[in-house]
């Protein structure tokens, strides 16, 4: 792992996901309270492991990807955040999910904001998007709060999904 890919914020340390994060990611992605609203929904342990392998390869290919988000003092797993190529061709998208116990404490905004800055400033991405169901107020507040702007919408599985973007010249 490239040490320049580690990001620290006031309360969090974000490290590129790796094999040591598998158990935490399996638990996160199996939690319907957290993952039911994500594209693809709740994951099996096998699918979570496949996605981890994809995330590790994405870092190697693009110099950006998904981070495991941990408490800077206790190292407790809080969630994950980062960027990956959207399967629908819309571009590189910011994604985040946090364990239920960590929600509502500002970790999402703190980590997503740091990831967005990394994507633009260190990975050189001119445009980063994010998507959220219209009904997912918490995610929409995070996206707006870190400066992303709603730019499009579409229907998926009967849900209106909003597309946000952040651009840098």
pLDDT value of residue 150: 98
- Summarised one tens digit per residue, pLDDT across range 111-148 is 999 999 999 999 999 999 999 999 999 999 999 999 99
> CA separation (Å) from 37 to 31, 90, 138, 147?
11, 19, 12, 22
Give the CA radius of gyration of the chain: 15
- The overall average pLDDT reported for the chain is 93
Q: Which superfamily does 3-130 belong to?
A: Gcn5-related N-acetyltransferase (GNAT) (3.40.630.30)
pTM for this prediction: 0.93
pLDDT value of residue 40: 75
Give the pLDDT mean for 18-40. 88
- Summarised one tens digit per residue, pLDDT across range 4-19 is 899 999 999 999 999 9
- Alpha-helical segments (H) within the chain: 22-30, 32-35, 45-62, 107-117, 137-145
pLDDT value of residue 169: 61
Domain positions in the chain: 3-130
Give the pLDDT mean for 13-40. 90
pLDDT value of residue 157: 87
């Amino acid at each position: 792992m490239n040490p320049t890919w580690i990001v620290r914020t006031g309360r969090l340390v974000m490290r590129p996901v790796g094999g040591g994060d598998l158990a935490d990611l399996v638990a996160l992605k199996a939690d319907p309270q957290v993952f039911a609203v994500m594209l693809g929904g709740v994951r099996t342990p096998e699918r979570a492991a496949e996605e981890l392998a994809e995330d590790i390869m994405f870092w190697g290919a693009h110099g950006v990807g998904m981070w495991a988000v941990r408490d800077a003092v206790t190292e407790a797993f809080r969630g994950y955040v980062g960027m990956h190529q959207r399967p629908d061709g819309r571009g590189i998208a910011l994604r985040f999910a946090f364990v239920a116990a960590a929600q509502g404490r500002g970790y999402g905004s703190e980590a997503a904001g740091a990831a967005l800055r990394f994507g633009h400033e260190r990975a050189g991405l001119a445009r980063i998007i994010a998507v959220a169901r219209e009904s997912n107020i918490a995610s929409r507040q995070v996206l707006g709060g870190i400066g992303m702007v709603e730019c499009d919408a579409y229907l998926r599985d009967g849900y209106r999904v909003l597309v946000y973007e952040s651009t840098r010249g």
